[in-house]
Structure 1
Amino acid sequence: MIDPLLFCAARITTYSGPLRLTDASGFFYERAHRLFLVTSRHVFLDDAGGHRPDRIEFIVHTDAADLTAWATLSVLLYRDGVSQWREGVDSGGAVDVAAIELERDVLPASAVMHPFRPELCAAADAALPPGAPVLVVGFPLSFFDTRHYLPVVRSGSIASAYGIRFQGQGYFLTDARTHRGTSGAPVVMRNTAPGSAFPWTLLGVHSASFDMQTREDELDERLGLGCAWYAGILDALTR
């Protein structure tokens, strides 16, 4: 039996026309029978970095028993010049999370995916202690099981006061080894409630790793902290 957590994530590849640009992570989110693909907003558009893709591709499994069976789906980011994803702001400014709705009729009838839903998201005021264990499910440096097309899972912990907006921004910190390509990955915690069919709780969306300009390469390791935007932003983005 494969843990359903491994079917929640998707490897996202961005394109500008036929030109392949970058790889990132994302995950599926369902609300009122509407299905979304969630990732970092900068995966879809990063003006500062000159990153302006016009479409994305991702993989979905088509057979729960044969993990070598999958389909590649392509989604346009613009229609008639209008961006198709949803993004948001909060009291701290722009939020680095985006969601694009997927048309169910273009998905394979046998698609195997386990989307998160509102009831599987942790409340921002949940009583989670510093150091509580978390998992980051994604495709760091585009590394994954290329035969079965499954993501990898990095373990870490909550590194700031959960429920408090770190430095006034809508995210908390994680202490986990993350790399390029992990942007947009779900940050989750095991749900120990008995009888849960999907024993995972979505805490946030990994966005970026931090480093310090004062760090000296010869003396100091990288800071190794990342930011995860609180999952509550998805309530606003998917209404």
Structure 2
Amino acid sequence: MSHPRNDTPSIFWKTTPIGYGYSNRKSEPFVASGFYYRHQWGVSEQDRAGDLPDLGPYLVTNKHVVQPSDYPQPDSVIAYTRNPGKVQETTRHHIDLYRSDGEPKWRDHPENENIDIVLIPLSFEIRETAMFHRANIVSEPSSVSGGDLAEVVGYPAEMRNFHRLPILRQALISSSYQVSFYDSPYFVIDARLHDGMSGSPVVYAPSIVDIEVEEQEVDPDWDTVEPFRVEGTTERKHTSLLGVHSGERLEFDDEISMEDIESDLLSRDSNPGLKDFLSELEDRLENIERETGINRVWHAKYIDEIIRNH
């Protein structure tokens, strides 16, 4: 059997599928995505002036991944690291979600509990090249704009790659990156994503074209004059971390939820089939929303804020 090349792009080394571990039931091997992060690179003067934050390493994913509504609450999450020099070989890790006193180990945003990002401190070491760092977070938001292309790197639940390598999906940045969407701390992308991609890093790696222009000698007898030869070579720039994809549905403060509709209708109608009908209707609406391809991405800058304030 042939194996992936060991010179696979570094983004493949930085991500992991996430599963759930339980003390009293069978584990769930693939439910979400995540990536590894260390705060160390790009430490600023602001850091040096005070106490350094806990630099990591961390596993980054969504808050709704560690507090699932559609699975029993897990005791741990399952993640993988790739062995040095062999991208097809992985080491499995069980990462406890709770301390001995029952308090959660993960860290979320101290001021906005709605930000769907958590960082889980890790007790094992990870190679620097297999993590994102603070220097990877976009430093000039104005360099990214709506209409630019990005990539979502994660693990669709139905795509269980033998080597646990991620799937890359191209996405269009569909709202302003600099301005919060609907006055919320995220932007939106247009991409066909699937269950299991929650917690995926969204990255920006624009390609640049290096153009060389060479003047040519012109034969006066030619009918067509082409005095220049133009050649172009394309290369990818440094990969920047834009944010963390969340598979949770978009919600707005003034919208009426299906729970509100269900509660109102059931209070007025005791028909035993009504609840099943409403449940089926909700599933259909969720499928329609998923098919629109509009997805939420929480800004990567909140990773830094979580680390600084814990």
Task: Say which of 9, 12, 15 aligns to 2:21.
Answer: 15
Query: How far did 1:67 drift?
Result: 3.0
3-state secondary structure, aligned to 1:143: coil
3-state secondary structure, aligned to 1:83: coil
Counterpart of 1:60 in structure 2 is 81
* 2:82 equivalent to 1:35: no
Percent of residue pairs identical:
26
Which string of whole-angstrom CA distances, capped at 9 and with x for unpartnered residues, describes residues 74-122 of structure 1?
Answer: 110001201000011556x5210000011235x6xxx685211111101
Higher strand share: 1
Q: Is the 8 A contact 2:245 2:296 kept in 1?
A: yes
3-state secondary structure, aligned to 1:235: helix
**The structure with more radius of gyration:** 2
Task: Say which of 300, 304, 308 aligns to 1:231.
Answer: 300
Which string of whole-angstrom CA distances, capped at 9 and with x for unpartnered residues, describes residues 47-88 of structure 1?
Answer: x55641110111111132x33322111110001201000011
- Distance, in Å, in 2 between the alignment partners of 1:50 and 1:152 is 24
TM-score, normalized by length of structure 2? 0.66
Query: How far did 1:220 drift?
Result: 9.4
Counterpart of 1:78 in structure 2 is 98
Q: Is the 8 A contact 2:207 2:236 kept in 1?
A: no
Q: Is the 8 A contact 1:7 1:112 kept in 2?
A: no
Q: Is the 8 A contact 1:121 1:201 kept in 2?
A: yes
Is the alpha carbon distance of 1:7 and 1:216 closer, same or farther for their aligned partners in structure 2, counting shifts above 3 Å? closer
Higher helix share: 2
* 2:161 equivalent to 1:139: no
Amino acid at match of 1:72: R
TM-score, normalized by length of structure 1? 0.83
Amino acid at match of 2:194: H
3-state secondary structure, aligned to 2:107: strand
Counterpart of 2:194 in structure 1 is 179
Q: Is the 8 A contact 2:60 2:118 kept in 1?
A: yes
Amino acid at match of 1:159: S
Which string of whole-angstrom CA distances, capped at 9 and with x for unpartnered residues, describes residues 186-237 of structure 1?
Answer: 000105689x9982100000002647989989x9982111000000000012
Amino acid at match of 1:127: S
- Count of residue pairs the alignment pairs up: 230
Q: 1:70-149 alignment to 2 at 5 Å?
A: 70-80=90-100, 81-88=102-109, 90=111, 93-104=113-124, 114-123=130-139, 125-146=141-162, 148-149=163-164
Is the alpha carbon distance of 1:233 and 1:59 closer, same or farther for their aligned partners in structure 2, counting shifts above 3 Å? same
Q: 1:44-55 alignment to 2 at 5 Å?
A: 44-46=66-68, 48-49=69-70, 51-55=72-76
Amino acid at match of 1:135: E
Counterpart of 2:177 in structure 1 is 162
3-state secondary structure, aligned to 1:202: strand
